[in-house]
A and B are shown apart, each in its own frame.
Chain A
Amino acid sequence: MAVDVSSRDMGAMRRRRRRSLMRDVVGVGVIVLAAAIGYFAFPDNLALLTRIIAVALLVLSLDLVTGYCGVATLGHAALFGSGAYAAGILSAHFGINDPLLMTLAGLIGGALAGLLSGLVMLRAHGLPQLVLSIALIHLFHELANKMSSFTGGSDGLSGIAPDPIFGRFEFDLFGNTAYVFAVVMLLVVFVLLRILVRSPFGMLCRGLKEDPLRIRAMGASPKRAIVKMYGISGAVAGLGGALNAISTQVVGLDTLSFTQSAEALVMLALGGTGSLFGALAGTVAFMMFQDYVSSVNPFHWLTMVGALLIAVVLFAPKGIYGTVAAFLEKRREGRP
């Protein structure tokens, strides 16, 4: 009897692991497929697709603190913008134009901004925390605005001229190289984040989101976990910022704006929090919809975006991916 139970559990465990691995493979496959479809469907608009990927990195990063740790923030673009400026300044002021070094600078800049934000954010909870995040993004924005000799202020930072990747692949006018670079970056980040959310630390954060008191009673420090996750989240957002700086060769104050932060949160809610697939789905849906509607009706596109959001909140409160996942789960449980 005991043997039966244990062997059945081993089987269940293997199935679970296989299913989880399957989801990784499917995830990578879907990204590659979507990237290929995008490439052939919008050959003239690779700049938009590259921008979607950069923002997707921001939304994934936001999901780490909001979806996995339960910290609601309206200031997450601070991490994205810091990465963008770090990469841009390296090129424009220090003449270091290697795109990989610029990417690394973005990662570090984002991570530092993330650690700083994390330390500030855990001073409060709930509504005051949300207000704190708004204060943070305004401070970052104002800092970049005032340090205009470094950042270009409201004119934006120009003079960014990335070298060819590995000295071979030049950033061409059509954005082919930038797009491939972006897709590869997204794939690497996606796989690493899948590992992260399954790791002991990922599990700790999921627990933290649900009940910080329980986590403390296990002897773990919620504050340390949040600051650490903010650091990781900053690195991811910083990569997105660097990608944006490299591909557009300009960094504007809008990368550090409240609007960008709020839009990221909207995209995450649209796709579904607490899931990497949700973050990706939300970004693609929001940005494609925004691009399409604004070209069809430049006067009322914001109204339509608003209507879409209300519809999602009312009819699919778990977001696009969350709703689909819940539906599939139900069907699987329904089967014997």
Chain B
Amino acid sequence: MTAAVGNPVFEVVSLKKSFGGLVVTNDVSLSMAAGDRVALIGPNGAGKTTFVNLVTGTLAPSSGEVRLGGEVITGLDASARVKRGLVRSFQVTRLFQDMTAAEHLGLAVLQREGRSGRIFGNFLTMPDVMQEVEHRLETLRLTALMHRKVREIAYGQQRLLEIAIALALKPKVLLLDEPAAGVPQSDVGLIEQALNELPADLAVLMIEHDMDLVFRFAKKVVVLAAGAVIFDGAPGDATRDPRVREAYLGSYADAGRVA
């Protein structure tokens, strides 16, 4: 559907999913190259969550393919996809309430390096792991919360930690599922700053409701409605597209003003 410039690092080809007679994902294709910033938007019930679940391996598609760096990964389970570099964040923060920020990142780093199965030692005394943990926390300005348990951390900062964990897995493709959802307006700036500082060669697909954020972040917008792609192009053109306007029925009328 879209030809990405250069070699695509991430491709979705004619992805379909139906539950009985209900088609929830209808022939969705997508292609991304390293460094792309794409936003996936669409009204409620458009099938965005199903799409994320299909791509990450939580759901099996009825037909179609997902490719990562040229390799077909449709048959792999969720953790195998992560190992190959397809990493997601969650719409609602999924963190371990009784673990500290450092423990979350330590676990991610150890897991990435295949050391999470070790039954001896403590990552707090592993200099290489701790160095990376400290560096990653510092990048997202979370250093002060290093040894705080998640349940003592404000929600906006939990969202940052969620991004830090995803980055610690060294992804090639990052799926951000509404990174600013539930964050108080005063903290959205922090999230946006973190998004702007994402590694330049990382392909990022963001699912987001906050149109301001979408238009500032994405170079390309894909609009999903009733399970199918109805628009794929520059953010500025999206708001002028009649089908997009129809799909939203004016519920994002202010999106036009922003663009």
Q: Which residues of A contact B (CB under 8 A)?
A: 2, 5-6, 9, 12-13, 16-17, 195-196, 198-204, 206-207, 210-211, 213-214, 216-221, 224-225, 228, 232
Contact = CB atoms under 8 A, between A and B. Distances in A.
B169 interface: yes
Pairs A-B, 6 closest by C-beta atoms: A219-B82, A214-B94, A216-B78, A219-B83, A200-B110, A200-B118
A206 B96 contact: yes
Give the most central of A204, A213, A218: most B CB within 10 Å: A218
A328 to B, nearest CB: 16
Contact of A5 (B58, B98, B125, B143): B143
B116 A213 contact: no
B117 A201 contact: yes
B107 A218 contact: yes
Interface string B76-96: 011110110001101000111
Given A204-B111, A232-B119, A218 B143 contact: no
B198 interface: no
A217 B143 contact: no
Contacts of B56: 217
Determine chain A's interface SS by DSSP, over half rule.
helix
Contacts of B87: 217, 219
Specify which of A210, A211, A214 lies most central, judged by the most chain B CB atoms within 10 Å of its CB: A214
Contacts of B79: 216, 218-221
Contact of A218 (B97, B120, B144, B169): B169
Given A200-B121, A203-B106, A220 B111 contact: yes
Interface in B60-85: 77-80, 82-83
Contact of B96 (A202, A210, A219, A221): A210
Contacts of A204: 107, 111, 116-117
B112 interface: yes
A228 B98 CA distance: 23
B259 interface: no
A5 B116 contact: no
Given A13-B147, A200-B117, A218-B82, 9 more contacts: A16-B147, A17-B122, A199-B119, A200-B121, A203-B116, A204-B111, A207-B99, A214-B96, A219-B79
A57 B233 CA distance: 63
B146 A203 contact: no
6 contacts: A203-B99, A204-B116, A210-B98, A214-B95, A214-B96, A221-B79
A279 B121 CA distance: 23
Given A9-B146, A207-B96, A216 B82 contact: yes
Given A218-B111, A220-B79, A220-B111, A196 B94 contact: no
A203 B169 contact: no
B215 interface: no
Contacts of A228: 117
Contacts of A232: 119
B36 interface: no
Contacts of B217: none
Nearest to A213: B94
A6 B143 contact: yes
A272 to B, nearest CB: 14
B103 interface: yes
B120 A17 contact: no
B123 interface: yes
A12 B145 CA distance: 12
A244 B83 CA distance: 44
A76 B165 CA distance: 35
Interface in B38-58: 56, 58
Contacts of B94: 211, 213-214, 217
Given A216-B79, A217-B82, A12 B117 contact: no
B115 interface: yes
A207 B95 CA distance: 9
A198 B122 contact: yes
Contact of A220 (B90, B95, B116, B147): B116
A12 B147 CA distance: 8
B108 interface: yes
Contact of B119 (A9, A195, A218): A195
A295 B146 CA distance: 54
Contacts of A216: 77-79, 82
Contact of B112 (A195, A219, A221): A219
B124 interface: yes
A2 B117 CA distance: 34
A203 B143 contact: no
